[in-house]
Amino acid sequence: MTLDGNDIRILQILQDNGRLSFRQIAERVKLSVPTVSSKVSNLERLGAIRGYRADLDTERLGEVSAVVTIKARPSDLPMVAERFKDDDEVRQLFFLSSGRLMLICTFTGTHLINDFAARLGNIPEIVEYDIASVIGVAKEEDRASVVPGLQAVMPCQQCGRQVSDRPLRTRDGPNDVYLCSPACMNVYLGGAMPK
């Protein structure tokens, strides 16, 4: 679903400062407050905006980060990832196209990096790993890069395929549900509503 120029502007403004009021945003984008409010709700419903939170300074909090790459058999990767999913120390966990996992971890002390490395060594499915602590931060931004022409990518609630530019929409309680085709809409409604 293509986002319009004002959506993009609003995303840029909110990515920069999530605490601005609708009124403050409206002044900047020259739209009415209700329009901004409905655009923001729509971006939230689409999942383009995941949430609003404080941007904490890791180093100022006395913490140290490490970048870890893990190699395992492709069939083992999901299971290996599962082991780390609930670890507070593992801040980001990516599946890479190279068939590896990449973890960005943050620890409250350097010695904990060694403990973590020892843990990696004890996981039989891990074929190979590399762990290095971060010794300087040259740039650190949110992963989303807000540029003109962005599209919101959504899976069809019924079949999981990516919804095209003109999704069909229905409601499930308070939530919007997006579907890719009339066929999926029929199946979804058939399953959702008791006869």
Residue 138, SS3 per DSSP = coil
| For the chain, counts of helices (H) and of strands (E) | 6, 6
Residues engaged in binding Zn ion (CB under 5 A): 156, 158-159, 180, 184
- Minimum CB–partner distance for residue 160 and Zn ion (Å): 7
User: Is-contact 72 82, C-beta < 8 A?
Assistant: no
In this complex, which beta carbon is closest to Zn ion, that of residue 31 or of residue 184? Answer: 184
In this complex, which beta carbon is closest to Zn ion, that of residue 114 or of residue 151? Answer: 151
Across-strand partners of 178?
A: 169
Distant-in-sequence contacts of 160-163, Cβ < 8 A, 24+ apart: 163/1
In this complex, which beta carbon is closest to Zn ion, that of residue 1 or of residue 184? Answer: 184
The whole-angstrom separation of Cα 4 and Cα 89 is 38
In this complex, which beta carbon is closest to Zn ion, that of residue 48 or of residue 179? Answer: 179
- Minimum CB–partner distance for residue 164 and Zn ion (Å): 10
How many residues does the structure list for the chain?
195
- Minimum CB–partner distance for residue 179 and Zn ion (Å): 6
- Minimum CB–partner distance for residue 151 and Zn ion (Å): 17
